[in-house]
Amino acid sequence: MSLISYCNTDYERVVVESYEELGSSYKVAEALGKDDRHMRKVFKRVKDRAALRGYSPENDMTHTSPSTHVVKGTSTLYKDGEVALQWVKTDIKIEDQLKAIREAAESLFEQIEPRSMTNYMPECNDKLLNCYVITDYHLGMMAWHEETRGDDWDMEIAENMLVDWFSSAMSQSPNSETAILAQLGDFMHWDGMDAVTPSHGHVLDADTRFQKLVRVAIRSFVRIVDMLLQKHNTVHILHATGNHDLASSVWLREMFDIYYSNEPRVIVDNSADCYYCHEHGLTSLFFHHGHKRKVANISGVFAAKFRDIFGRTKFSYGHMGHLHSKDVKEDGLMIIEQHQTLAAPDAYASSGGWISQRSAQCITYHKDYGEVSRIRITPDMLK
């Protein structure tokens, strides 16, 4: 048995076969004309998928589960250094969820051709990084001003505002070598055919059908990434997992990873973990939606999960969303910032009294000095 058995696409099979023949990501990247980091990500994706089915020879896991099950744990008995017995615990419910997500993503991939490379013109400062932070955008949500005493919100308003915000932020920010599109979760207001929260089934105010919601989400981000590629040499895309879009964040990551697979200037973080990190010289940036940890107790989690990067860097910053309001905490490890949202409050937030100002920020970081500037743009400023 080999990892080839766990490839879902011809592209993955080519990468894994090349790995088995050449032995390193660098040689594979050179042979296929691809980015080395991208090759490592594809290979890791297949390895992780195999491990879910119980195949991870380097960890003595060779007793695989059937295709209808996923391995949720193993117990191994060793005798004289050899594996004597192994118990494999499986779970069908998780696999059903993964299968549904995978099939939805694959149906999208069939209609998508990988983006070709784009030209890059401006001269940029290779010491700078622009971090465009968007959180809790709730695309697909409906808000009526008479019900909320705030602004209206629907699909058309949301799509136009998102593109206008990025256009404004890019025009005002410095020409940095690197950009991060830091979408911190809950970009989608709901996560399937029914407009309810995925974990608790609370009914949500929805403006549209889910297929249209998916279409607008893809269209908006393709426009934005193409805009970013005209200004920055390298664009990192982060679609963090939120509590409203647990599954949609998965297909957003995987879809954009494939869509820009021919564009080495685009790097998509498709980690399955809900904590993320980026290293920029002596500056480290950490990201989490905020549904698992709060501002007051997350810095230690970031430092522990990304111990090597945290240890190498001098200036550390954490970014979160979830509560739609601004909060900043500095401790001995890093500065943690909870960001506002651009979205208008819906009836649920308004009736509950959860009201805050609306904005999003582009923060510029220097490799040697940490944060050096920021731009804050509100919906009113876009008018």
* pLDDT tens digits along 210-238: 989 999 999 999 999 999 999 999 999 99
List the single range of 5-9, 151-155, 295-299, 364-368 with lowest mean pLDDT: 5-9
* pLDDT tens digits along 126-165: 999 999 999 999 999 999 999 999 999 999 999 999 999 9
Q: Which of 333, 350, 344 is nearest to 379 (CA)?
A: 344
Cα of 120 vs its chain's centroid, Å: 24
Q: Are strands 327-330 and 335-338 parallel, antiparallel or unpaired?
A: antiparallel
- Where on the phi/psi map is residue 168: left (φ > 0), alpha (ψ -120 to 50), or beta? alpha
Q: Which residue has the higher pLDDT, 197 or 299?
A: 299
Q: Which band of pLDDT confidence, cut at 50, 70 and 90, is reported for residue 12? A: confident
Nearest-angstrom CA–CA distance, 272 and 286: 15
* pLDDT mean over 175-182: 97
Provide the residue type at 119 as one letter. Answer: N
Q: Which of 56, 59, 272, 6 is nearest to 15 (CA)?
A: 6
Give whole-number Cα distances, 283 to 277, 286, 319, 370, in Å: 11, 10, 14, 5
Q: What's the chain's Rg over C-alpha atoms?
A: 22
pLDDT, position 78: 54
Decide if pLDDT at 61 tops 70.
no
- The domains of the chain are located at 3-109, 125-382
pLDDT, position 35: 81
Q: Which residue has the higher pLDDT, 91 or 328?
A: 328
Q: What is the DSSP letter of 233?
A: S
Nearest-angstrom CA–CA distance, 87 and 75: 5
Give whole-number Cα distances, 59 to 5, 45, 67, 72, 74, in Å: 18, 17, 20, 15, 10
pLDDT, position 68: 47
* pLDDT tens digits along 255-296: 999 899 889 999 999 999 999 999 999 999 999 999 999 999
pLDDT, position 76: 55
Q: Which of 349, 377, 353 is nearest to 363 (CA)?
A: 377
- Contact assessment for residue 234 and residue 268, using Cβ atoms and an 8 Å cutoff: no
Half-sphere exposure of 138 (CA within 13 A, CB side): 26
247-261 in b/e form (b: 16+ CB < 10 A) is bbbbbbbbbbbbbbb
Q: Which residue has the higher pLDDT, 106 or 48?
A: 48
pLDDT, position 237: 98
* pLDDT mean over 341-357: 93
Decide if pLDDT at 91 tops 70.
no
Decide if pLDDT at 2 tops 80.
no
pLDDT, position 330: 98
Nearest-angstrom CA–CA distance, 383 and 378: 9
Strand partners, 366: 128, 370
Decide if pLDDT at 103 tops 60.
no
pLDDT, position 80: 65
Predicted TM-score (pTM) of this structure: 0.73
Q: Which band of pLDDT confidence, cut at 50, 70 and 90, is reported for residue 105? A: low
* pLDDT mean over 98-125: 62
List the single range of 71-80, 200-209, 273-282, 337-346 with lowest mean pLDDT: 71-80
Decide if pLDDT at 71 tops 60.
no
Decide if pLDDT at 346 tops 70.
yes
Decide if pLDDT at 43 tops 70.
yes
Q: Are strands 176-183 and 125-134 parallel, antiparallel or unpaired?
A: parallel
Give whole-number Cα distances, 266 to 110, 162, 249, in Å: 21, 20, 18
* Angle, CA 241 vertex, CA 166 and CA 72 arms, to 5°: 160
Q: Give the SS3 label for residue 337.
A: strand
Average pLDDT, the chain: 87
What is the third-level CATH fold of 125-382? Purple Acid Phosphatase; chain A, domain 2 (3.60.21)
Nearest-angstrom CA–CA distance, 159 and 163: 6
Residues sharing a CB contact under 8 Å with residue 59, sequence separation 6 or more, in sequence order: 51
Percentage of residues in the chain with pLDDT exceeding 90?
A: 62
Strand partners, 285: 278, 317
Decide if pLDDT at 189 tops 60.
yes
pLDDT, position 230: 93
- Contact assessment for residue 139 and residue 213, using Cβ atoms and an 8 Å cutoff: yes
